[in-house]
Amino acid sequence: MKIRLGVIGDEACIKIVEEISNEYPEFSIRYFTYNTKEDSVSIIQVYEDETDMWLMLEPCAYLYAKEWGGSRKQLFHIPYRGASLFKTLCEIFYNANLAIQDISFDTVPYGDIKRGFAEMNIQYGDTIFVNDFCVQTPVNEVFQYHYDLWKNSKTKAAVTCIGKVKDMLKEAGVPVYRVLPVRLSVRSMFYNMLREFDLQIVKDAQIAVQVFEFCILTDDEKVYSTDEIYNEEIKLTQRLIAYAKKVRGSLKSVGQGKFFVFTTRGSLKSITDEFRTIPSIEEFEASEHKLIACGIGIGLSAYEAEFNATTALQNAKRYGKGAWMIVFDDKTITGPLGKKEQLTYSHFSDELQNISRETSISVATLSKIIGIMEQKKTNKISAQDLAQYMHILPRSARRIIAKLEDCGIAIEVGEENPNPRGRPRKLYCMKMGQA
């Protein structure tokens, strides 16, 4: 079976990839051209189910799609630095005989350009004109950056990684050079994609254990006979057997409303949309039994997967009825599935173990705080944020922060007032989990 690869780029980049792709018969490739970075997301949305992975040929499209985060498939891109940048500079020096100070750059980070010049022993003086491109930067703004420098005689040429910017600069009369992927980089990327696909097959074959805990006796006021309890367990077992077949697994009941399903990571990944949602399962919806919680464990052995599943179940029960959590083989925890505030955190960290001993706050709670900050993309947090994401009372969140403040982990740095009529909220900077 061939790997279905979707390639997104402009005609110039696609032409280079097409020349190399014939060397890799393992791939069945479909090419897509686009006009704007927003188009790349639209293409992924339409053809997501017809591909196994995506290769983005322009940095701006790759960054935009990665920030969007809606693709369930792996996204790859070819870095426009190193050999690609060196090739473009060689062309400029050979054909135009320009100095580095005469050229403006975009997309490639300033630090990468400086390191590249140092490795090539290129003297660049005190000034390098580099546009600090980010995913939100409009193409017109990148064009204007180059054009203004050239118009004001600060530069004599522009180097861009964006095809549309090159076309706009060329039309405006600005000498412009395009950084394109070199063939060596393309071959290296095809090799990496093959390797990643093989690794994914191995990961999908990992053992996965799913443990469900149900409330068998749905009517608390009714007195059940042993026959009635047994009958309820049989009905629930039949529905779970049907579910186990859907995930190509086997069912084991351990009593007291607990059921284990043994299957593979790939099967559960598929039914949970890459471990992001709770699947709509007909067998569960038809059941009058109440699901207390569900834990999923991934492991290198059945024992490890079962242990991780039990840990996941314990964490899920803290989030309330019907919650699903996952513990992966690297001991990271994700969940609750299907929730907007889904977090990923880890139980194991020497730093967190030390903080836990000093504050008496569990490592799991500390890990969740780090997960919240990573999701919010900031190291500042309020007690209200903590309470909302962790499903605890605000006073409990304030107690946690107070303990961290006492040992210097949480430092008050200011206030925020999301509601003009409400009281300001204190913001704390957390000095943990920082690389």
Other Cβ atoms closer than 10 A to 300: 10
Contact 104, 130 (CB under 8 A): yes
Q: For residues 208 and 268, is the Cβ–Cβ distance under 8 A? A: yes
- Note whether 70 and 195 are same-domain residues: yes
Q: Is residue 392 part of a domain?
A: yes
Question: What pLDDT, on the 0 to 100 scale, is given for residue 66?
Answer: 87
pLDDT for position 371: 79
> How do residues 64-94 score in pLDDT, each as one tens digit?
888 888 888 899 998 776 778 788 888 888 8
Instruction: Please count the structural domains in the chain.
Output: 4
Residue with tokens 């964006």: 162
Residue in the block written with tokens 């032409």: 15
In the predicted model, what is the mean pLDDT of the chain? Answer: 85
Q: What are the two backbone dihedrals, phi and then psi, of residue 298, each rounded to the nearest 5 degrees?
A: -115, 135
Which CATH number characterizes residue 418's domain? 1.10.10.10
The pLDDT of residue 133 is 67
Residue-wise pLDDT tens digits, 17-56 = 999 999 999 999 999 998 888 899 999 999 998 999 999 9
Q: Which residues of 141-174 are buried (b: 16+ CB within 10 A; e: fewer)?
A: ebbebbbebbeeeebbbbbbbbbbbbebbeeeeb
Q: Which of 123-132, 260-269, 288-297 has the highest mean pLDDT?
A: 260-269
- Residue count of the chain, please give it: 435
User: Whose CA is closest to 309, among 289, 291, 329?
Assistant: 329
Q: Is 323 found in the same domain as 354? A: no
- Pair 72, 132 in one domain: no
- Would residue 70 count as lying in a domain? yes
Q: How many helices and strands, by DSSP H and E, does the chain display?
A: 16, 18
Do residues 162 and 187 share a domain?
no
pLDDT at position 288 over 60: no
Q: In this structure, are 216 and 305 located in the same domain?
A: yes
Domain final residue, candidates 310, 339, 368: 339
Q: Does residue 64 fall inside a structural domain?
A: yes
| CB 101, CB 127: distance < 8 Å | yes
CA atoms lying within 13 Å on the CB side of residue 39: 11
- Name the residue type at position 87: K
Kindly state the percentage of the chain with pLDDT values over 90. 36
Q: What is the DSSP string of 113-150?
A: HHHHHHHTT---TT--EEE---TT--HHHHHHHHHHHH
Query: Rounded mean pLDDT of 224-252?
Result: 85
Same domain, 9 and 27: yes
Could you tell me the pLDDT band of residue 223, with boundaries at 50, 70 and 90? low
Same domain for 70 and 126: no
Tell me whether residue 31 is in a domain. Answer: yes
pLDDT tens, residue by residue, 259-285: 999 999 999 998 998 888 888 777 666
Quick count: other Cβ atoms within 10 Å of Cβ 420?
Answer: 5
Give the CATH number for residue 138.
3.40.50.10660
pLDDT over threshold 50, residue 435: no
More confident residue, 339 or 269: 269
Task: Reply yes or no on whether the pLDDT at 145 is more than 70.
Answer: yes
E-state strands within 239-302? 250-255, 258-264, 290-299
Name the domain boundary from 339, 370, 398.
339
**For the segment 187-205, what is each residue's pLDDT rounded down to a tens digit?**
999 999 999 999 888 889 9
Q: Which of 57-66, 174-183, 372-381 has the highest mean pLDDT?
A: 174-183
Does residue 319 contact residue 341 with C-beta atoms inside 8 Å? no
Domain containing 227: what range?
A: 205-339
In a domain, 125, yes or no: yes
Q: Are residues 284 and 233 in the same domain?
A: yes
Q: Can you spell out the DSSP letters for 356-393? A: HHHH---HHHHHHHHHHHHHHTSSEE-HHHHHHHHT--
The reply to whether 421 falls in a domain is yes
Pick 375 or 278 by higher pLDDT. Answer: 278
Residue 230 belongs to domain with CATH number: 3.30.70.270
- Say if residue 260 is in the same domain as residue 384: no
Token couple for 234: 């049989």
Task: Please indicate, yes or no, whether residues 133 and 222 belong to a single structural domain of this protein.
Answer: no
Cα→Cα distances 261→42, 296, 316, Å? 37, 9, 17
Mean pLDDT within 368-389: 82
Residues 231 and 330 in one domain: yes
Q: Does one domain contain both 188 and 57?
A: yes
- Degrees to nearest 5, angle at CA 415 with 411 and 417: 150
271 C-beta neighbours (distance < 10 Å), count: 18
DSSP state of 154: S
pLDDT value at 420 more than 80: no
Record the tokens describing residue 316, joined without a space: 């899920």
Give the pair of three-digit tokens for residue 211: 């443990």
**Residue 7, pLDDT score:** 96
Q: Is residue 112 part of a domain?
A: yes
Give me the pLDDT at residue 213, please.
92
273 within a domain of the structure (yes/no):
yes
